[in-house]
């Protein structure tokens, strides 16, 4: 592990720039963590640096790549995830970073946090896989302060990730699609317009940001260690194409 502390190299947020954790940039986090060369992840981090307000909740924190960066930038951050495997991966990365951040076992549809506890929250690539979607949306609204910011990432049902990993054409019209993968039985496959309408029932939608188009296909064909120029170009392409072709769309919301 690099000798530089995870809290060293204070981020420069002037002009929208932000600092990355040295161990993340060095690829020193455990194998389940995103690669530092993957520009859709860097785009998520850039948006997090712009929109996070303390205290902040990271719902579905997974390996902790976002949680640890929020803390690195000086935020008071709380992390939770429903998956035991994800929490174990988070804890391994906390050990690598020698930090004392913990991750709680929480169901997004039944959060234990008090009302209006957070000034901002992040819920990225979680809602399509939640059984009780309406309950989850109610909970996100409940724990957010008035005028608080929520950054929510939702897969496009017709984007490349869903078509490759979730919506196998051979099983699209079968009622029982169980392929021993939680993604196979997901309840909430929708396009960006549906997600925007649903989110706007509770929140004010400030921005709709297409994240990527072909990056999941690049990962499937060439792995995650490809030249970063490929995924950087894909992020730029997504910004200029209709959101209906994006693999994932980020929604910046205000309560």
Please give the domain boundaries of the chain with CATH numbers for all domains: 24-254 (3.40.50.150)
Question: What confidence score (pLDDT) does residue 231 get?
Answer: 96
Three-state DSSP at 247 gives coil
Question: What confidence score (pLDDT) does residue 129 get?
Answer: 84
Token pair 């709680």: residue = 104
Question: What confidence score (pLDDT) does residue 91 get?
Answer: 96
Q: Compute mean pLDDT per 10 residues along the chain, 255 residues long, and list them.
A: 34 50 92 89 95 97 96 96 95 95 97 98 92 94 98 91 67 46 56 94 97 94 92 96 95 98
81 half-sphere exposure, CB direction, 13 A CA radius: 20
Whole-angstrom distance, CA of residue 167 vs CA of residue 247: 12
Whole-angstrom distance, CA of residue 211 vs CA of residue 84: 27
Closest of 91, 35, 38, 40 to residue 67, by C-alpha: 91
Token pair 């194409």: residue = 241
Question: What confidence score (pLDDT) does residue 163 get?
Answer: 79
With contact defined as beta carbons under 8 Å apart, do 152 and 170 qualify?
Answer: no
* Residue 17: Cβ within 10 Å count: 10
Whole-angstrom distance, CA of residue 106 vs CA of residue 96: 23
81 Cβ contact partners less than 8 Å away, ≥ 6 residues apart: 59, 60, 61, 62, 87, 90, 103, 104, 105, 106
Closest of 42, 91, 40, 39 to residue 64, by C-alpha: 91
Output the six-digit token pair for 205.
């939608």
Token pair 């909970």: residue = 139
Output the six-digit token pair for 248.
């994932």
Question: What confidence score (pLDDT) does residue 175 get?
Answer: 46
Three-state DSSP at 105 gives strand
What pTM was estimated for this model as a whole?
A: 0.86
Question: What confidence score (pLDDT) does residue 189 get?
Answer: 73
Question: What confidence score (pLDDT) does residue 167 get?
Answer: 56
Whole-angstrom distance, CA of residue 153 vs CA of residue 169: 24
Question: What confidence score (pLDDT) does residue 200 get?
Answer: 97
Helix runs in 111-247, H state only: 133-143, 160-161, 192-199, 215-222, 228-238
With contact defined as beta carbons under 8 Å apart, do 128 and 188 qualify?
Answer: yes
């Amino acid at each position: 592990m690099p000798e530089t502390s995870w809290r060293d190299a204070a981020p420069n947020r002037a002009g929208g720039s932000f600092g990355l954790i040295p161990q993340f940039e060095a690829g020193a986090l455990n194998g389940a963590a995103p690669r530092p060369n993957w520009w859709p992840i860097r785009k998520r981090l850039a948006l997090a640096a712009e929109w996070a307000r303390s205290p902040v909740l990271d719902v579905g924190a997974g390996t902790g790549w976002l949680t640890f960066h929020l803390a690195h930038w000086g935020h008071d951050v709380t992390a939770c995830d429903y998956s035991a495997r994800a929490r174990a991966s988070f804890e391994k990365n906390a050990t690598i970073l020698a930090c004392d951040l913990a991750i709680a076992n929480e169901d997004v549809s039944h959060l234990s946090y008090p009302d209006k506890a957070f000034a901002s929250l992040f819920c990225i690539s979680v809602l399509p896989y939640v059984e009780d979607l309406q309950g989850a949306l109610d909970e996100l609204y409940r724990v957010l302060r008035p005028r608080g910011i929520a950054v929510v990432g939702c897969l496009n049902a017709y984007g490349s990730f869903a078509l490759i990993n979730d919506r196998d054409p051979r099983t699209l019209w079968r009622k029982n699609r169980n392929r021993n993968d939680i993604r196979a039985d997901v309840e909430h496959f929708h396009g960006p317009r549906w997600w925007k309408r649903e989110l706007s029932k509770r929140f004010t939608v400030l921005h709709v940001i297409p994240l990527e188009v072909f990056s999941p296909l690049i990962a499937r064909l060439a792995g995650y260690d490809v030249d970063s120029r490929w995924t950087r170009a894909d992020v730029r392409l997504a910004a200029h194409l209709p959101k209906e072709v994006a693999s994932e769309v980020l929604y910046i919301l205000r309560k």
